[in-house]
């Protein structure tokens, strides 16, 4: 596999793996995402779409356009990592985060809404729900997203390898 093919493969696999991990931690692990956790997912979704377009373009013989979409996908992955850096900084109390985090939509009578509010989990953006070796999920997203995003850009570089 040449470096451009590897860049395309990583451009789709990395955001799929990171987004898949986030969804597994939510739906299997029971971790409820805060607002900033959700922010980190959107660039990964964009990266998946951009990488898919790059793969289609490469298959149709548009290598220059395919490389441009791989670069955009890599930048989207890096954006998710940058949001992860911000979120991790909020969790480590290096800086302040947004004043409010996500809340579910409530419906029904006033009594039903009050019961739903009281039963809803409080998700704080400044308190990690899970860590490994002192690194939160936001921190791991930052490390992997920025690292792999840079690797994808390097593999996709414009000048040919010698």
d(CA 58, CA 73): 14
Task: Write the Ramachandran bin of 134: left for phi over 0, alpha for psi from -120 to 50, otherwise beta.
Answer: left
Average pLDDT rounded to a whole number, residues 65-78: 95
> Rounded mean pLDDT of 32-57?
93
Give one DSSP letter per residue of 27-44, joined into a string: HTT-PPP-HHHHHHHHHH
pLDDT band of residue 4 (cuts 50, 70, 90) is: confident
Give the mean pLDDT of the chain.
86
Tell me how far apart the alpha carbons of residues 99 and 115 are, in angstroms, rounded to a whole number. 24
pTM here is 0.81
Q: Is residue 59 exposed (0-12), middle (13-18) or buried (19+ Cβ within 10 Å)?
A: exposed
How many percent of the chain have pLDDT more than 70?
86
């Amino acid at each position: 596999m040449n470096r451009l093919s590897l860049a395309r493969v990583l451009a789709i696999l990395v955001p799929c793996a990171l987004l898949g991990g986030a969804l597994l931690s939510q739906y299997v692990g029971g971790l409820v995402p805060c607002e900033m956790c959700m922010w980190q997912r959107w660039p990964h979704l964009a990266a998946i779409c951009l990488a898919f377009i790059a793969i289609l373009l490469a298959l149709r013989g548009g290598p220059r356009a395919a490389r441009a979409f791989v670069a955009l996908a890599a930048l989207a992955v890096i954006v998710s990592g940058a949001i992860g850096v911000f979120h991790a900084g909020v969790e480590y109390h290096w800086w302040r985060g947004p004043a409010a985090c996500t809340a579910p939509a409530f419906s029904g009578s006033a009594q039903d809404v009050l019961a739903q509010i009281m039963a809803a989990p409080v998700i704080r953006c400044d308190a990690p729900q899970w860590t490994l070796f002192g690194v939160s999920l936001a921190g791991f997203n930052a490390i992997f997203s920025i690292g792999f995003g840079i690797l994808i850009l390097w593999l996709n570089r414009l000048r040919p390898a010698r």
